[in-house]
A and B are shown apart, each in its own frame.
Chain A
Amino acid sequence: NAGVTQTPKFRILKIGQSMTLQCAQDMNHNYMYWYRQDPGMGLKLIYYSVGAGITDKGEVPNGYNVSRSTTEDFPLRLELAAPSQTSVYFCATSGFQETQYFGPGTRLLVL
């Protein structure tokens, strides 16, 4: 089993460009999450999903969108990239009230 996979591993965007960060899991977990990690700030929850077709905002959702059409996939969309979105993005999954499992991360640089 691959667990949680994220693509791409690294990306450079110009201000105003858009992109989609991909997250896929083969653990059959209902719950999926997107976090961003900035130096010295820990992880901040962007969006989460409790199942296919259901998403909800986390702590820092502005500038991002998500969709959850299948149990396996939970893409994160940046529509108009801004320098403040330079960060490392982690996708995670879990069962109900269980341990979260993290992907390897996507490093995004917006110039």
Chain B
Amino acid sequence: AQSVTQPDIHITVSEGASLELRCNYSYGATPYLFWYVQSPGQGLQLLLKYFSGDTLVQGIKGFEAEFKRSQSSFNLRKPSVHWSDAAEYFCAVGARTGNQFYFGTGTSLTVIP
């Protein structure tokens, strides 16, 4: 069965520090992969996505993610975190043979001055 695991429920980083949010998936083939961000009281906004090609993908707001097939991972990174990055982050996978999407449980990011 398809599943998405985000092992870190909550992460706290200092402003200006680097960030890595982990995402592991279970899927029978190579899925489509997404990272979304959700600010309090808001809907989800797409940060980046991987469909095919280069396994390092760039997104908005200075985020990037790397697809590692051997590790079934799609970790999100940012070299220098800004206070405005504080939010909830969701990893998701989409099936290539249909149109269903599966979300992780999210990682809450706190940024301290």
For chain A residues 72-111, which have a beta carbon within 8 Å of chain B?
A: 90, 92, 94, 96-97, 99-105
User: Which A residues are CB-close (under 8 A) to B34?
Assistant: 99-100
* Residue B100 CB within 8 A of the other chain: yes
Contact with A along B42-72 (1 / 0, CB 8 A): 1111100100000000000000000000000
Say how far B24's CB is from chain A's closest CB, in angstroms: 14
User: Is there contact, CB below 8 Å, between A96 and B104?
Assistant: no
* Residue A27 CB within 8 A of the other chain: no
User: Is there contact, CB below 8 Å, between B99 and A94?
Assistant: yes
| Given A97-B94, A99-B34, A42:B44 Cβ within 8 A | no
Q: How many A-B residue pairs have CB under 8 A?
A: 54
User: Is there contact, CB below 8 Å, between B106 and A42?
Assistant: yes
User: Which A residues are CB-close (under 8 A) to B4?
Assistant: 42
* Residue B74 CB within 8 A of the other chain: no
* Residue A61 CB within 8 A of the other chain: no
Chain A: number of interface residues, binned into ranges: 20 to 34
Q: Is the interface of A mostly helix, strand, loop or mixed?
A: strand
Question: How long is the Cα–Cα vector from A94 to B99 in the complex, in angstroms?
Answer: 9
For chain A residues 9-36, which have a beta carbon within 8 Å of chain B?
A: 31, 33, 35
In the A-B complex, the 8 residue pairs with the smallest Cβ-Cβ separation, listed nearest first, are A102-B43, A42-B105, A43-B103, A102-B44, A42-B103, A104-B43, A31-B99, A99-B46
Which A residues have a C-beta under 8 Å from some C-beta of B? Answer: 4, 31, 33, 35, 40-45, 48, 50, 58, 90, 92, 94, 96-97, 99-105
Give 24 CB contacts A-B under 8 Å. Answer: A4-B43, A31-B99, A33-B101, A35-B103, A40-B9, A42-B4, A42-B103, A42-B104, A42-B106, A43-B44, A45-B100, A48-B99, A48-B100, A90-B43, A92-B44, A94-B99, A97-B94, A97-B96, A97-B99, A99-B34, A100-B34, A100-B46, A102-B44, A105-B43
Which B residues have a C-beta under 8 Å from some C-beta of A? Answer: 4, 9, 32, 34, 36, 41-46, 49, 90, 92, 94, 96, 99-106
A40-B105, A43-B44, A97-B32 known, 17 other contacts, Cβ within 8 Å:
A31-B99, A40-B106, A41-B105, A42-B106, A43-B90, A45-B101, A48-B99, A48-B100, A58-B100, A92-B44, A97-B94, A97-B99, A100-B34, A100-B94, A102-B43, A105-B41, A105-B42
